[in-house]
Amino acid sequence: MLSIKQGSIAFIDAEPHAGKEYGGHDTTTGNIRRPVIVISGNDFNRVSGSFVMVFPITSQDKSRNPLAFPVLTNVQEGGIKGYIMATQILGYDFEARHGEVVGELDPGTTRKLAKIAQAMFK
């Protein structure tokens, strides 16, 4: 298993969810997995046990949203094509949610997203 780092691209079980939270793709078919970007810092990830803070990824076209960032990874191999939604920081227990790291964002996009996350708390 790849280690959990800031900028990791991962899948987690996102159900149950409520309200406007991003959940699984289709609960009627049992697809409760959601792609996410780990935004919590590496030191936090090391000491938190398996708790991580993430931005969800959606497959909906969010190109007009200034806080949505396109992501494209190995689509031919079942990868991810969508938008990172830097509008919601979600916290998950990575192990309990059956988290799986499948890749990494480029360092520039990771830094940009980390700055947005920090700005949310100013």
> What would the pLDDT profile of 8-32 be if each residue is shown by its tens digit?
999 998 877 655 556 666 656 666 7
Structural domain count of the chain? 1
CATH at residue 98: 2.30.30.110
Assess if residue 113 is contained within a domain.
Answer: yes
pTM of the model: 0.85
Assess if residue 3 is contained within a domain.
Answer: no
CB 35 within 8 A of CB 11: yes
User: How far is it, in rounded angstroms, from Cα 73 to Cα 9?
Assistant: 9
Residue 79's Cβ-side half-sphere holds a number of Cα atoms within 13 Å equal to: 15
Q: Name, in order, each residue with C-beta under 8 angstroms of 70's C-beta and a sequence gap of 6 or more.
A: 63, 82, 83, 84
Assess if residue 81 is contained within a domain.
Answer: yes
Which domain, by its residues, includes 98? 8-119
Assess if residue 2 is contained within a domain.
Answer: no
Assess if residue 40 is contained within a domain.
Answer: yes
Assess if residue 1 is contained within a domain.
Answer: no
pLDDT digits (tens, 9 = 90+) for 38-79: 999 999 999 998 899 999 999 889 999 999 999 987 655 567
Q: Name, in order, each residue with C-beta under 8 angstroms of 60's C-beta and a sequence gap of 6 or more.
A: 82, 83
